Amino acid sequence: MDEHYFTADPSVPFKRLPLRAEVWGRSLELVSGSGVFSQGRLDPGTAVLFRETEPPVTDGPLLDLGCGYGVLATALALECPAAEVWAVDVNERALLLAAENAAAHGVDDRVRTALPGAVPDGLRFAELWSNPPIRIGKEALHTLLRTWLPRLAPGGRAVMVVGKNLGADSLQRWLTDEGWPTTRLASAKGFRVLESRAVG
């Protein structure tokens, strides 16, 4: 049976794969792994996200939704030294790698890796950053976003990168129609960087 990176507990043998990622002017040495999204490399969408945005300036808390091996969570924690960063994923192997990468860069005291159900109910986020799992399907993606966008604090924002050919423009319209005013921050290499704002 084929497995995907959004499988909770992949059965494919676990092999760690190192990589180097350029993020907001920093060069990070990271470890990815089999059964986790974009093993052995920084995926093109996340690379566009880093190149086309400025890092946040906030005390948090911050959310890396669908964290994979934790490149966004680690970068956010390095850029926002007073912020707590939650790295959330359904893939337990991804959470293990995210925790290892945070520790390797000295930010494991502020990066909390968690399955979705383990995030405290009352916690509200200043910002949400994500390369969301578009391939789970439109209905599941909409459910995911309806779950997490309401957890933005008033005035907070979500920054997401989505492939144009995977429905970025229709997703932008849907987000705005759902009450999350969404603008396009950038368009590069077939990807859109979208910013959704929490109203109120």
Whole-number Å distance between alpha carbons of 79 and 155? 20
When pLDDT is averaged across residues 59-79 and rounded to a whole number, the result is 96
Structure tokens at 168: 């970025």
Tens of pLDDT along 142-171? 999 999 999 999 999 999 999 988 889 999
pTM of whole model > 0.75?
A: yes
Domains defined for the chain, CATH in brackets: 16-197 (3.40.50.150)
Q: What number of residues does the chain have? A: 200
Whole-number Å distance between alpha carbons of 104 and 158? 27
Whole-number Å distance between alpha carbons of 24 and 13? 32
Tens of pLDDT along 83-121? 999 999 999 999 999 999 999 999 999 999 999 999 999
**26 or 15: which leads in pLDDT:** 26
Whole-number Å distance between alpha carbons of 120 and 101? 23
Whole-number Å distance between alpha carbons of 30 and 99? 11
**88 or 14: which leads in pLDDT:** 88
